[in-house]
């Protein structure tokens, strides 16, 4: 104790020095720890940036901002989808009840009216039809109560009406028949010639429903039919077309809806006429089978 009293100043200075050394050591440790954490974060950022830069496409660099470019292109694509929607206008169902479900009574009445209307329009356009033709709804024609799928039947009735009127507008010679996919339990009892052995397909954008149409006409009317499909505001895609000589098959007979046979033997050679004008074009009646898909866009989410 005497030594401490004699060297009190030295002791105090020593204690202060030890305290300062401890504080300096703690500060150095804290700074080292902070630098370690910052270095690890920097490594993580660098590795993330390296991974992003290595991706194809990469997010870009200081001169090229691929992320911003992708956003702009996405906006352009959405604008194009909105504009393309103008060419896929929905075909109203028959009856068109809006948000209400279709009832048996409403559909039965609408079906009879529509069959009568399409028969009258065919007569006005001089388009021959099979006798008492029901436009692929023979199974439902005499029913007052329906099993299932009334909403789908109403949609098909509207689409069949549009398809028939496209043919009428082209003034084809005759409509042999329209075939659709089965959507109701009642379709099981209908004639085979009313149906396709296929089904509708739904993807992320739309529902695609196929129809097969068989008609007879000359080549100008065929061109007009295809033009009418192309200019329609509704979404029609002509998937296939088969054209054969009409022959002598009667309208409305089972053979009229059968697939046309493949041509056999070489095509006949036209001999030049003796004297007078040479025949340049010998137009003949053709039987045409079209497979047409109706594209219905899904509601926007």
Q: How large is the average pLDDT for residues 32-42? A: 78
Residue of higher predicted confidence among 98 and 251: 98
Question: Span 40-54, mean pLDDT?
Answer: 72
Q: How confident is the model at residue 70 (pLDDT cuts 50, 70, 90)?
A: confident
Query: Whole-angstrom Cα distance, residue 61 to residue 65?
Result: 6
Burial class (CB in 10 A: 0-12, 13-18, 19+), 144: exposed
245 within 8 A of 284, measured Cβ to Cβ? yes
State the number of CA atoms in the 13 A half-sphere of 244 facing the CB: 17
Across the chain, mean pLDDT equals 82
Pairwise CA distance, residues 54 & 251, whole Å: 67
Closest to 245 (Cα-Cα) out of 227, 226, 264: 264
Band of the pLDDT at 241, cuts 50, 70, 90?
very high
pLDDT digits (tens, 9 = 90+) for 193-207: 999 999 999 988 889
């Amino acid at each position: 104790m005497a030594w401490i009293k004699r060297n009190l100043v030295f002791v105090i200075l020593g204690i202060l020095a030890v305290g300062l050394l401890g504080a300096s050591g703690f500060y150095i440790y804290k700074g080292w720890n902070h630098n370690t954490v910052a270095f690890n974060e920097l490594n993580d950022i660098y590795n993330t940036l390296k991974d992003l830069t290595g991706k194809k496409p990469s997010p870009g660099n200081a001169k090229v901002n691929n992320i911003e470019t992708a956003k702009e292109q996405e906006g352009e694509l959405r604008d194009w989808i909105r504009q393309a929607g103008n060419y896929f206008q929905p075909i109203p169902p028959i009856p068109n009840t809006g948000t209400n479900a279709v009832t048996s009574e409403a559909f039965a009445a609408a079906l009879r009216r529509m069959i009568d209307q399409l028969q009258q329009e065919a007569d006005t356009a001089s388009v021959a039809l099979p006798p008492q033709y029901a436009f692929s709804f023979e199974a439902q024609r005499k029913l007052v109560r329906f099993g299932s799928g009334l909403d789908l039947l109403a949609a098909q009735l509207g689409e069949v009406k549009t398809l028939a009127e496209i043919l009428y507008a082209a003034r084809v010679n005759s409509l042999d028949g329209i075939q659709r996919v089965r959507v109701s339990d009642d379709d099981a009892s209908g004639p085979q010639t009313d149906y396709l052995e296929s089904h509708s397909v739904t993807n992320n954008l739309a529902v695609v429903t196929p129809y097969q149409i068989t008609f007879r006409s000359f080549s100008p009317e065929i061109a007009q039919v295809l033009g009418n499909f192309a200019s329609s505001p509704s979404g029609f895609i002509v998937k296939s077309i088969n054209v054969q000589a009409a022959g002598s098959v009667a309208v409305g007979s089972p053979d009229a809806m059968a697939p046309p046979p493949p041509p056999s033997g070489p095509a006949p050679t036209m001999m030049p006429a003796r004297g007078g004008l040479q025949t340049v074009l010998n137009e003949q009646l053709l039987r045409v089978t079209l497979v047409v898909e109706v594209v219905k866009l899904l509601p926007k989410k």
